[in-house]
Amino acid sequence: MAEYQVAIIYGRLAGVEDFRAIKDYFEKGFSTKFIFFVSREPVGAATEFIKELLYCDVKVVENPRKEAKKLFKKLKASGQKVFIIASDEFGYRGMSGDPV
């Protein structure tokens, strides 16, 4: 069983490395669903990678942080086990210290 029901990630951009990390975290049982709020639509190889991740929703919004926190509060209030993090701190990008 996964540690969280939903993991929410937010940032300006989402790239292949972000989606690789999501895939790894899903396979390790971190969360059953991932929601990634970004301010720009993913492009290039990232768009192809997203198609494989049926458990990941990408939402393009004007203010990713605000929308992510709003959803976090809503899901938490409904009793779901939810995790939230900025994309700069998540996965491989967080480990490498390479903010995009």
* pTM for this predicted structure: 0.91
C-alpha distances in Å from residue 24, one per residue of 20, 29, 54, 79:
6, 9, 14, 26
Write the CATH number for 11: 3.40.50.1100
Q: Quote the number of domains for the chain.
A: 1
Residue 53 lies in a domain: yes
- Label residue 1 by pLDDT band (50, 70, 90): confident
99 pLDDT above the threshold of 90: no
Contact between 40 and 13 under an 8 Å Cβ cutoff? The reply is yes
pLDDT in tens, 19-78: 999 999 999 999 999 999 999 999 999 999 999 999 999 999 999 999 999 999 999 999
pLDDT at position 91: 79
Q: What is the mean pLDDT of residues 5-14?
A: 96
Residue 1 lies in a domain: no
Contact between 86 and 14 under an 8 Å Cβ cutoff? The reply is no
- Label residue 94 by pLDDT band (50, 70, 90): low
Residue 26 lies in a domain: yes
Residue 81 lies in a domain: yes
